[in-house]
């Protein structure tokens, strides 16, 4: 353990917890300094919205804070049931099931669906899980937890997914992909993956942590944005802690799949239900996201366009993303760390993402945009980024 930690320290890859207090809007207090947050996932700025805060406090006052039990014991409240129904309706599925976090949703669902007995394909043992190489860590861990045979394909290469499925014909198979990739911001080839899965009788699982709320009609996510429905993507996972401004996650699908997950997902069965107040706040968030009365999705879209246009003028190496995640590829870990420190000195909180979160040599600044950013703030960040190259050269390792 100590040797592993020392190895990370020597490579400049140790991570550090910092306290980032919220001062309102995009402003954070970090180590006594006020910084503009360009690294969070509160894409619509809903975390501090008065409707969410009112729903949360009202419900906590009436029902208390903790639920005190798992859903299947005595922790399931009316607010949870109502939220599950609204999530199912919003995403166009028969049923939805709440989890306490996205990591737990991925671990539990893959473990349940891929373990012998829970997979809808009956009468066989062992299962195949095919995944994009850049999927979220919890999807990879879920396949391992299930004891499934894990095969990965090159990033966004749907034909690569088909080849992996064809290499192991006859096994019950599940293909899992991020809808929007968390560290790259690009979108999975969902329509092609859906066709490939249908042709081969494989189940498609999409983790839409970063698409839900910001993409598609009524913000229903990357799957809806691709014109796909429940038949194409039988299992849809979404998180509540990003565009919805809350915390937690859900998995949605037809009643039989959700029933299997309810029975077998250990991260669902054996954990305390999320606070009812959080479910109430999430319902308020869904109402805002579906109708978007304040035009937050449009504002986010305008901010993304402004940032990309400004970056192009400066000749910055942005990755090809149209979403709120706009990474600036740097390469070496040392240079990415130096760039983040330079931006911080200029008043911006932008985090350097390093291996093993991204591949070796792929260190980057993961810049994220939100509806709360003003055009002036975005221009100020661009100005600071435009000054970076010299600092980067001097710090490159
Ligand atoms: N999936 C993806 C693609 C994510 O980016 C994240 C958040 N880092 C998660 C799952 C986990 O969600 P949570 O933070 O709710 O555990």
- Cα gap 364→386, rounded to integer Å: 16
Residue 241 C-alpha to ligand 1 middle, in angstroms?
A: 8
- Cα gap 374→371, rounded to integer Å: 8
Residue 209 C-alpha to ligand 1 middle, in angstroms?
A: 6
Q: Which CATH architecture describes the domain 2-37+295-395?
A: Alpha-Beta Complex (3.90)
Q: Which residues are annotated as a binding site?
A: 15, 136, 182, 210, 239, 357
Does the C-beta of 241 come closer than 6 Å to ligand 1? yes
Q: Is 210 a catalytic residue?
A: yes
Own/partner long-range contacts of 349-358 (Cβ < 8 Å, ≥24 apart): 349/20, 349/28, 349/30, 349/35, 349/36, 349/37, 349/38, 349/39, 350/38, 350/39, 350/381, 351/39, 353/183, 353/327, 354/12, 354/13, 355/13, 356/13, 357/137, 357/183, 358/183
Residue 368, φ and ψ in degrees, nearest 5:
-120, 145
pLDDT for residue 5 = 85
Whole-model pTM: value is 0.95
Q: Count the neighbouring beta carbons within 10 Å of the beta carbon of residue 197.
A: 24
Q: Which residues are annotated as a binding site for substrate?
A: 15, 136, 357
Does the C-beta of 179 come closer than 6 Å to ligand 1? no
Does the C-beta of 208 come closer than 6 Å to ligand 1? no
pLDDT for residue 2 = 82
**Measured between alpha carbons, how far is residue 189 from residues 59, 66, 177, 218 in Å?**
40, 40, 9, 21
Tell me if 216 sits within 8 A of 72, measured CB to CB: no
User: Which 3 state secondary structure label does DSSP give 155?
Assistant: coil
Nearby residues of 377 by Cβ (< 8 Å), 6 or more positions away = 26, 36
Q: Where are the domains of the chain?
A: 2-37+295-395, 50-291
Does the C-beta of 26 come closer than 6 Å to ligand 1? no
pLDDT along the chain (397 residues), means of 10: 82 84 94 96 98 98 98 98 98 98 98 75 70 97 95 98 95 96 97 98 98 98 98 98 98 97 97 98 98 97 98 92 96 93 96 91 95 98 88 46
Residue 103 C-alpha to ligand 1 middle, in angstroms?
A: 6
Taking CA atoms only, the protein residue closest to ligand 1 atom 9 is 102
Taking CA atoms only, the protein residue closest to ligand 1 atom 10 is 102
User: Which 3 state secondary structure label does DSSP give 349?
Assistant: strand
Residue 386 C-alpha to ligand 1 middle, in angstroms?
A: 31
Does the C-beta of 326 come closer than 6 Å to ligand 1? no
Comparing CA positions, the residue from 157, 105, 152, 145 lying closest to residue 129 is: 152
ipTM score above 0.95: yes
Q: Is 222 a catalytic residue?
A: no
Among 3.10.105.10, 3.40.640.10, 3.40.50.2300, 3.50.50.60, what is the CATH number of 50-291?
Answer: 3.40.640.10
In the set 242, 321, 332, 370, the catalytic residue is: 242
Does the C-beta of 102 come closer than 6 Å to ligand 1? yes
pLDDT for residue 389 = 64
Q: Is 394 a catalytic residue?
A: no
Taking CA atoms only, the protein residue closest to ligand 1 atom 15 is 102
Does the C-beta of 107 come closer than 6 Å to ligand 1? no
Angle at CA of residue 239, ends 234 and 51, nearest 5°: 125
Residue 248 CA: nearest ligand 1 atom is 15
């Amino acid at each position: 353990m100590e040797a592993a930690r020392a190895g990370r320290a020597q490579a400049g890859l140790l991570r550090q917890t910092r306290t980032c207090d919220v001062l309102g809007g995009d402003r954070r207090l970090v180590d006594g300094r006020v910084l503009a947050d360009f690294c969070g996932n509160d894409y619509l700025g809903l975390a501090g919205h008065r409707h969410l805060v009112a729903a949360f406090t009202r419900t906590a006052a009436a029902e208390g804070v903790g639920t005190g039990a798992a859903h299947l014991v005595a922790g399931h409240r009316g607010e949870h049931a109502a939220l599950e129904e609204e999530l199912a309706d919003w995403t166009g599925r028969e049923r939805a099931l709440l989890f306490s976090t996205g990591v737990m949703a991925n671990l539990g669902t893959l473990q349940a669906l891929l373990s012998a007995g829970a997979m809808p394909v009956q009468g066989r043992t062992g299962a195949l899980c095919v995944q994009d190489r850049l999927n979220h860590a919890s999807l990879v861990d879920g396949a391992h937890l299930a004891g499934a045979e894990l095969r990965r394909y090159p990033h966004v290469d749907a034909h690569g997914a088909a080849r992996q499925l064809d290499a192991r014909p006859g096994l019950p198979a599940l293909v899992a992909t991020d809808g929007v990739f968390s560290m790259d911001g690009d979108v999975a080839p969902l329509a092609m993956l859906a066709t490939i899965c249908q042709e081969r009788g494989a189940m498609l699982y999409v983790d839409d942590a970063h698409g839900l709320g910001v993409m598609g009609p009524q913000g229903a996510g990357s799957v809806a944005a691709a014109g796909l429905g429940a038949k194409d993507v039988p299992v849809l996972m979404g998180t509540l802690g990003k565009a919805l401004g809350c915390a937690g996650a859900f998995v949605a699908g037809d009643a039989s799949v959700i029933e299997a997950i309810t029975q077998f997902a250990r991260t669902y069965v054996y954990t305390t239900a999320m606070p009812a107040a959080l479910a109430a706040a999430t319902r308020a968030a869904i109402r805002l996201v579906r109708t978007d009365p304040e035009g937050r999705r449009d504002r986010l879209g305008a901010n993304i366009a402004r940032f990309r246009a400004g970056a192009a003028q400066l000749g910055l190496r942005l990755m090809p993303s149209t979403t709120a995640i706009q990474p600036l590829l740097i390469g070496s870990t040392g240079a990415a760390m130096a760039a983040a420190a330079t931006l911080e000195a200029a008043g911006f909180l932008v985090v350097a993402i390093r291996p093993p979160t991204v591949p070796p040599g792929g260190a980057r600044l993961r810049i994220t945009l939100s509806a709360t950013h003003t055009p002036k703030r975005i221009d100020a960040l661009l100005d600071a980024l435009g000054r970076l190259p010299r600092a980067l050269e001097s710090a490159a390792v």
